[in-house]
Homo-oligomer: A and B are copies of this chain.
Amino acid sequence: MASRAKATILDIARAAGVSKSTVSLVLQGSGLIRPDTAAKVRKAIEDVGYVYNRGAANLRKAHSNVIGMVINDLTNPFFAELAVGMERVFQSAGIVPFIANTAENPVRQEEVLKSLMEQGVAGLIVSPARGSTPDAFRRLEAAGVPVVFAMRRLPESRIPVIAPDNHRGAFLATRHLIGKGHRRLAFFGGSADLVVYHERLGGFREACETLGIAPADVLVFEGETSRKGGIACLEAALALAEPPTAALCFNDAVAFGAMLALRKRGLEPGSDFAVVGFDDVVEAEHYMPALTSVAVDTPGLGERAAHVVLKMIQSRTTRAEDHIGAVNLVVRESCGPDRSQEVRRAAMGGVA
């Protein structure tokens, strides 16, 4: 109800006693119109309850100010943190980004991208769904829409990437475990269809190799990148005749799963089996025991991605430099028998 025919620019022109062009100018904040005329127009807008039709405007302008964020898994707090970082910069640029979730499903991703294109997005930040191919983004490139990948990259794609230094992060974490005296190490979770997996696994392997772990003592367990996957990996590892004593996990969710499974078997994460996570989500420091993890500054990467896409839009290009973010290992309580070296962050700090 009350759905009277929507007011247009013409209605408010009539109400204010000016021409539609004048109204349009006012709407765009042009300095060309006299302040009192502008005021008159603005009042009419208010009175009539006019709402701007961006679709009509874009028809003429061919440059919308819509930016889309395509996220592969919104329920993973890690990606929610990423989204929050991006929003921060978009908000201060006065633009409202639209978030869409692909739920790690390439088919859904295709739908989402199509819909966003039809909507005429000016630019896109995408954390691609697992198993998506460069093909899915061909269309975007053809249309000249600026796209940046966040956190994940695709094999052989020319789209710029904003991601942490996965290789180095994994290397640091592994070196730490070895430094604690562990000699038989596992890598938990992830699967080969993710480029990130190879990067992290690569860092793990390099550390093992250069620091003198025998090839037979480096164990790799693929699995889901979730708590569930972590549980499964741990079970598999402990079923071995000669189980590992420490694990680097693909991400924090996997690490949480592994710790859970340890507890269920009556083992204490940290002293009985060392666990290191990756990403350092806010829960990591609140877990029991607090999780040692590779911090990647997720919101910071989100901000960076937002800046890059903004700049790409502005300079009408579809290319940009990759950005590899610095990482650092945050040592807490979940690894190594040596409990004297605990590092604690203030318990109040983690509520974003």
Contacts and interface: CB of A to CB of B under 8 A. Distances in A.
A99 B77 CA distance: 16
Interface stretch (A51-59, A128-136, A166-174, A201-209): A51-59
B115 A96 contact: yes
A14 interface: no
Nearest to A88: B103
Contacts of A17: none
A299 to B, nearest CB: 10
A194 B97 CA distance: 27
Interface stretch (A211-219, A330-338, A343-351): A343-351
A96 B118 CA distance: 11
A53 B224 CA distance: 38
Contact of A286 (B59, B66, B77, B260): B260
A117 B51 contact: yes
A235 to B, nearest CB: 11
A153 interface: no
Interface in A303-352: 316-318, 347-348, 350-352
Contacts of A352: 75
Interface residues of A, number: 67
A286 B75 CA distance: 16
A231 B348 contact: yes
A108 interface: yes
Interface of A: 1-3, 6, 49, 51-56, 58-59, 62, 64, 66, 74-75, 77, 80-81, 83-84, 87, 91, 96-101, 103, 108, 111-112, 115-120, 139, 141-144, 224, 226-228, 231, 256, 260-261, 263-264, 283, 286, 288, 316-318, 347-348, 350-352
